[in-house]
Structure formats: structure tokens, C-alpha cells
Amino acid sequence: MRLSYLVNAISLVMMYIGLVLLAPILVALFYHDQSSVFPFLSAAIISAGCGYLMRKIVPKSTQLENLNDIKKSEGLFIVAASWVIFALIAAIPYPFYNLSIMDSLFEATSGITTTGATILTHYNYPKAFFFWRSFTQWLGGMGIIVMFIAVLPQFAVAGRQMFFAEAPGPTEDKFTPRVRNTASILWKLYLGLTVILITALILAGMAPFDAVCNALSTISAGGFSPNEQSIMGYHLPAVTWIVGIFMIIAGTSFNLQYKALQTRNPLTFFKDDEFRLYFGFIACMTALVAGFLVIQHNYDILGAIRHSMFQVVSVMTSSGFASVDYTKWGYSAQILLFIAMFYGSCASSAGGGIKIARLLLIFKIMKNEIEKILHPNAVIPVKHNGNLVPPDVLRQVIIFVFQYFAVFAVTATIITIIEQNHTLGLTSAITSLGNIGPGFGQIGPMSSFEHLHSSSKVILIFNMLVGRLELVPFIVMLSPEFWSIKGE
């Protein structure tokens, strides 16, 4: 890897993150909260200043007009480093609000990775504070690198390597020849959906500020809310339905959404193999959980469907919102939600998890292997949406799923030992790795992660970053060859 290229890209990211930090400052000024200006102004100056200094220390980096010949290893490093740096910068304002350094980093990482796990034990904070939490989720939902590809000319050509490093789905799915155009379209769609949701929430009776924060966290499949009881705290059934529907949208491939808008045909969604399975999972799980709520908890049918749909979608799409304290539900409903945590959302969406596309390909691989046992000489290709899936892609999917469960098993075991609680260990590991947020027991939707040991929080921070970047950049970093850095 070439140091000049790394510094050029990372310093640009840091300088523009400094500009992004002006947003909560404007919110603080709008609400006449002068005390919140300094925390975010400090973070902005540190971010932009460090980026500027990096370019001065490595002067050759400023001589690069673009990054058009960037290597794949460099792209992976830039993406991973950018997310770690963004987490560090996003954490800077929190100590000003009496959060510890560890808790600040945990809250910031949970924000940018759209995990939604919080260490807050009370909600007596200014509006700029809550806006920043939701805004970091909104930025992380589509991807900070995807945003910079869309707006920075330096990334116009080099964007391909970083685009797929930040969102490494089973296939390289882009719908325009230029990655920058694809990134720009995705962000326009993302912004448009956010505006529509804000409007819908206000019309449903939510206060404008809360509507903005909850919309930012919903479209990003994040889960942070300015209400300490999440969506349940608003006591508005219409809001529950609206947020539930938009969580489904957030977990649906944005590429597929764009194609549906282009064709103006809603049936485009159901022509996609992944979406059909995604929608089918939601429908089946909703029906099962609703059945248990009616039978075991005497819910009325409409209320059971509303809350079961909301919670199933929330954990599947890794949104992390709550319309009810589901830890008070019976064992049957809770185990179904726990299973749903492993499904994930669609590829190229804001949601986290393994991704439905990978599970679908795994199922097809298993089906083909069974057929080969019965017909040894048969040649049975694996297809997705009618297209042949290359063997190397299938191999990558198998390796990813294996690594995903390996990370889950190891981190769950370590946290269980540290906390001496298997429920906490299992659920915190999967909710952090899948970027889901709240879990069960002591880390339920109405609880906090604040009481966890610092070592557990470090592991969960690692899981959140690895889960958001889908393992690839971090796994590659384990190779000694990756760390060969040259001055040029």
C-alpha cells in the first residue's frame, strides 16, 4: 500500500467529517442551546485540523489530483480506517455531557454502525445531543464512503474499490456504469425517503423534532430515539405502523427500490428472489408471534399483528426500535425473535445481519448437494434471479457465513465468561454483530448497556464495526502482506 494514497483519502474524509459536525451546531443554535455549541465545534476543529495536518506531514499526498489507480488493499484499508476514525470523532462531544470515554466510544460506534445499543440511563440531554445520535446513524446507514464518493471528485474514479469494500454484498450490484452515479442516486433516494417519513410522522401526531430524529434512525435501520421508551413512548398506533413499514423499506435493497421506481411497477419487488424470501420471512414470523400474543397474552388481533410485525421487522432489519417491551412476552415469542435476529435484511440495504441473499444462496447450495447425491453425474448450476452465480461468489458466501458464526460464537463465549450470564452473552454478541441493538434480559429494549464490564464493551464495539463492514476489511487485515506500506 502507498502511504500518499492512504493519507490523501483519509485526510479528505476527516476534513469533510468536520463539515458534517456543523449540523448539530445549527440545531443547538436553533434551540438557543449555546452550551452545546462548544462540544461539536471542538470535534469539528479536531477532525478538520487533524486531516489538514496529515496532508502537511505527508506532502506527496497533496500532489494527487485523484485516486484513479487505487489498489483493492488500499481501498479496504481506507474504508476500515475511515469508520474507526469516524467513531472516534463522533465520540468527542459525548464526554462534554458527562459520559465516560468508554461509554462515549460505545455510543458513537453504536450510532455510526446503526446498531442502536445505548449506554444512556436517563434522557435529560439537550436536543443537539439527540440529533447527533440520530444523525450519525443516518450517515452510517447508507455509508460514509458512499456519501463521499457521491460528492467528492477525488473519489470519482477510485470509488469502485471503496464502494464494494464498504458494502460487500454477495454480488457487485450497481445499476449505472459509473460507481459515483450509483452512489449519487442511492443518496438521493435515501434523502427522499427520509423527507417522506418525516412528513408522515408529523402528520401522525409526532412533534417535529422527534419526527426528524426518529426518521433519521428509521431509514438507516438504526434505532436511536429521543424518547427513552423508543416508539412505545409515543402511544400512537399510526406511528407504529408508519415506522414499521419504513423499517421494511430500510431493509429492502435500495438498488431494487430504484429499479421499481424506474419501471413504476411495484411487482418488480416480487420478481426478486431475495425480496420474496425477505417478505415471506416477515409474514411468517409475524403470524407466528401474533398467534402467541393472542393465545398467551390476550392481545386483540389487530394489536397482536401491529406489535408482532413491528418487533419482527425491527430485529430482522437490525433497526432496534421497540413498540412494546418484548422481554415481557412469553418464551415462545422471544425465541422466535431471537431466531429472526440471524436472518438479516436484504443486500444493498441499510439493514445489517448476514443478509437474506447469502442465506438464500446457502439454501440453494445445500439443495444442489442433495440432488447431486441422488444424481452424481448431474451438473446443477446455482442461479439467483435467473442469473448463474459464479463458483467464487458461492465460495465467498460459505466462508462469510462460517466466519460470521465463528465471530459470534467466540465473542458470545468471552462475554458470557466476563459477565457470568449466558443470556447476556448470547444476545449481546448477536445484536452487536448484526447491528441490531437491544437484546433480551438485562439489555432489553427498555434497558441499557451501561452496566456491562468495560472489556465486554470493547468486544461489542469490535463486533459492531466488523458487522457493519461485513467482516471483509477486517479479515483481510489479518494477512501480514496487507501491512506492506510504501512511502510513494
pLDDT by residue (tens digit) across 249-285? 999 998 899 899 988 998 999 999 999 999 999 999 9
Name the phi and psi angles at 387, rounded to 5: -105, 140
Residue 177 has pLDDT above 50, yes or no: no
Dihedral in degrees, nearest 10, Cα atoms 12, 16, 18, 22: 170
The CA distance from 32 to 141, in Å, is: 29
Q: What is the mean pLDDT of residues 154-158?
A: 50
Lowest mean pLDDT, pick from 95-109, 156-170, 455-469: 156-170
Q: What share of the chain in percent tops pLDDT 70?
A: 87
Model confidence at 163: pLDDT above 60: no
Quote the CA–CA distance of 406 and 341 in Å, as a whole number: 16
What H or E segment, with its residue span, contains residue 357? helix 356-374
Between CA 234 and CA 226 the distance in angstroms is 11
pLDDT for 50-61, tens place per residue? 998 988 887 665
User: What does the DSSP assignment read for 291-321?
Assistant: HHHHHHH---HHHHHHHHHHHHHHHHTT---
Backbone φ and ψ of 156, nearest 5°:
-60, -45
Mean pLDDT estimate for the chain: 88
Q: What pLDDT sits at residue 469?
A: 82
**Distance between CA 285 and CA 340 in Å, rounded?**
8
How far are the Cα atoms of 17, 135, 146, 188, 243 from residue 22, in angstroms, in the given order? 9, 12, 20, 21, 28
In sequence order, what are the residues at sequence separation of 6 or more whose Cβ sits closer than 8 angstroms to the Cβ of residue 379?
none
The model's pTM is 0.91
Cell triple for 135: 444523525
Where residue 348 falls among pLDDT bands split at 50, 70, 90?
A: confident
Does residue 398 surpass a pLDDT of 80?
yes
Residue 325's nearest CA partner among 446, 449, 447, 450 is 446
Look up residue 451 and give its three cell numbers: 452496566
Cell readout for 172 is 457487485
Cα–Cα distance, 480 to 261 (Å, whole number): 45
Least confident interval from 43-52, 103-112, 137-146, 229-238: 137-146
Please compute the mean of the pLDDT values over residues 331-349 and round it to a whole number: 91
Contact present, 348 and 254 (Cβ < 8 Å): yes
pLDDT tens for each residue of 113-147: 999 999 999 999 999 999 999 999 999 888 766 66
Looking at per-residue pLDDT, the higher value among 153 and 463 belongs to 463
Phi (first) and psi of residue 448, to 5 degrees: -135, 155
Q: How confident is the model at residue 105 (pLDDT cuts 50, 70, 90)?
A: very high
Query: What is residue 178's predicted lDDT score, i.e. its pLDDT?
Result: 59
Give pLDDT tens digits for 297-338: 999 999 999 999 999 999 999 999 999 999 999 999 999 999
- List CB contacts of 451: < 8 A, sequence separation 6 or more: 442
First to last CA, the chain: 9
Closest CA to 162 of 275, 70, 234, 237: 70
Hey, how many other C-beta atoms are within 10 angstroms of the C-beta on 330?
Answer: 12
Helix-, strand-, coil-residue percentages of the chain, each rounded to 5: 70, 0, 30
C-alpha cell at 145: 464512503
